[in-house]
Structure 1
Amino acid sequence: MGKLVLRLLPGLYLRRHLQWAQSHARSDQTFFLTFDCDTGRDAKAALKIQHRLHQAGMRAGYAIPGELLRHHWSDYQKLLTIGGYLINHGYREHAAIDSVSGQLYSTFSYRDVDDEVWQQDIIDGHNTITELTGHAPSIFRTPHFGEFNTPEQLRKLYSFLVKNGYKFSSSTTPVFGFLNGPVHTLPNGLIEFPLSGSLQKPTQLIDSWGYIAAPDALGRADLITELERHFEQYSLGKNPITNIYFDPADIVDDEEVLELLVRFKPYCHPGYDRYFGLEMSN
């Protein structure tokens, strides 16, 4: 029902987000920036991007499967010293690059396996981050965004995360932000940060896959237009909650996109892991 409403009345999405921010946000820092590092090519790209963000005084979160984090630890360890923070993204590599087309394809999805398999993947990712950094993660994001979003899947996921000490999740699509609020606290205390959608087509995630990398991508020009639309809301003093992510390799050499992201600096929140400083509640 939420998808249908947003398709018929897309303006309700921004209106709902602005109303929520006016009632709940106690800071102008309501822009959350993260990156999903799903293949080996993202490691050096992520480090290069975080250098750029660090120079601008911005922090960003990085969701990295444990296998890739371990394999590229020298790059990611440097990233953590300049303002990057880690999001548990499971352990197994869940995507690969086709050697002929250069396109990404899925190799592992929580949607397709038994509960015990994805639960162990979360634990293995958790243990890898703890071993490498000395700190247990408190934030989780499911692989392949939006594939594990049925009510039953989320009920099991959230219960498992809380049982294992997690405080935050960013694992749901823009429809959940419309229905429940762009940041919402679940009955078990876990805080969910749904990803943001397009202001013109709210069911469309703002990400580099949908706009740049997918076979049916909407196009780089549309991505730039979308970022400019969001920035305009901030420049007007409206400060919606905006939660977006990119695959680093898709944008690392795109100066225009990077410059647009840096423009959000005055509104950029220091991260999910510092959420309580924002003091939002339902």
Structure 2
Amino acid sequence: MDRLYLLLSFDCDTDLDPAAALDLEPLLKEHGIQATFAVPGAQLLKAAPTYRGLAERGAHFLNHGGLPHAEFRDGRWWGCTFYARMPEEEVMADIRDGHRIVQEVTGQTPRGYRTAHFGGFQAPEQLALVHGTLAQLGYAFSSSTLPAQALLHGPWYDAAGILEIPTFGTWAAPDTLLDSWSHLTDRHNYALGDSFYDLFAETVDQLLGAGAHGILNYYVDPAHVAGQAPFQRALEHATRRGLASIGFNDVLRLAGRPV
């Protein structure tokens, strides 16, 4: 690890995300961000032409399970499908279903995975179940852990032969993930607060100033950030500071793993 990298991916859990993902394409290309999407199988099937088109234009897809992760009620989207409430056999089956659907819709065989609502599935035995299932499927990596694991292990660690790539926090709150949902000021009409940009810029500036090397592994939902000034400013700041953008395959290379 010879510098500070930005690893940015996009979770697409609702019906609003396909159109938002298309809106983001030019911005991501402008800033050299590799488009990597984690989409539940149910959502891939609902918007198959959009996601297939993104794959054909070079986007990468993670297995994000098969079941839907959100449902619309009371005027907004709410989370559903929590692995901690499911029997182990159903969790394993959902991972396998997600694998199959990514192949079916995008034509890609996924090599990476992200657990649904992974913040609530962090117990050692729960992570062991995920990593063991991925090992059976021949996966290379997972990004399903909280920033505490990055603080403990660094930018990646080996788990049952799977390279686990933890998410990252901020300078102000190192053990709290920087994501888009937490910084929405309106969860009905989706307005991203300036706090997202402020925390991102401070983290980049402080770490670069300290000469730190590592990976800022963040994810956002397209519908939360498309057309939102704080997100655009964050990418502009990353570009201005010369922060190198990488994808998950680049992390495998850095870790000396097959791509």
Q: Same fold (TM over 0.5)?
A: yes
Aligned to 2:162: 190
Q: Secondary structure of 1:241's partner?
A: strand
Aligned to 2:71: 96
Structure 1 letter corresponding to 2:126 = Q
C-alpha contact (below 8 Å) 2:4/2:244 kept by paired residues = yes
Distance 1:88 1:50 in 2: 21
C-alpha contact (below 8 Å) 2:63/2:95 kept by paired residues = yes
1:30 Cα deviation (Å)?
1.9
Q: Secondary structure of 1:179's partner?
A: helix
Structure 1 letter corresponding to 2:9 = T
Q: Secondary structure of 1:206's partner?
A: coil
Q: Secondary structure of 2:122's partner?
A: coil
Distance 1:241 1:33 in 2: 10
After TM superposition, the structure 1 = structure 2 runs for residues 132-151 of structure 1, keeping only pairs within 5 Å, are 132-151=105-124
1:48 Cα deviation (Å)?
1.4
Aligned to 1:35: 10
Distance 1:280 1:35 in 2: 25
- CA deviation map 1:118-152 (0-9, x unaligned): 11111111001112233310100000131111011
- CA deviation map 1:20-64 (0-9, x unaligned): xxxxx14x4621001111111111101211331013322031110
Q: Secondary structure of 1:131's partner?
A: helix
Relative to structure 1, the CA distance from residue 274 to residue 109 in structure 2 (aligned partners, 3 Å threshold; closer, same or farther) is same
Q: Structure 2 length as normaliser, TM-score?
A: 0.88
C-alpha contact (below 8 Å) 2:4/2:243 kept by paired residues = yes
C-alpha contact (below 8 Å) 2:36/2:61 kept by paired residues = yes
C-alpha contact (below 8 Å) 1:42/1:248 kept by paired residues = yes
C-alpha contact (below 8 Å) 1:58/1:83 kept by paired residues = no
Aligned to 2:100: 127
Unaligned runs of 5+ in 2: none
Structure 2 letter corresponding to 1:36 = D
Superposed CA RMSD in Å reads 2.3
Q: Secondary structure of 1:90's partner?
A: coil
Q: Which has the higher strand share?
A: 2
Count the aligned residue pairs: 251
Q: Secondary structure of 1:185's partner?
A: strand
- CA deviation map 1:215-255 (0-9, x unaligned): 7xxx7122111111122146535343210011111111213
Distance 2:28 2:167 in 1: 20
1:201 Cα deviation (Å)?
1.6
Q: Secondary structure of 1:245's partner?
A: strand
Distance 1:275 1:182 in 2: 9
Distance 1:123 1:96 in 2: 22
Q: Which is further off, 123-132 or 253-262?
A: 253-262
1:66 Cα deviation (Å)?
0.8
Unaligned runs of 5+ in 1: 1-24
Distance 2:111 2:42 in 1: 18
Distance 2:217 2:184 in 1: 18
- Ranges of 4+ aligned residues in structure 1 off by more than 6 Å: none
Distance 1:207 1:273 in 2: 22
C-alpha contact (below 8 Å) 1:59/1:270 kept by paired residues = yes
Identical positions, percent: 31
Distance 1:241 1:225 in 2: 18
After TM superposition, the structure 1 = structure 2 runs for residues 203-214 of structure 1, keeping only pairs within 5 Å, are 203-212=175-184
Structure 2 letter corresponding to 1:66 = G
Distance 1:134 1:220 in 2: 36
Distance 1:135 1:29 in 2: 29
Relative to structure 1, the CA distance from residue 118 to residue 196 in structure 2 (aligned partners, 3 Å threshold; closer, same or farther) is same
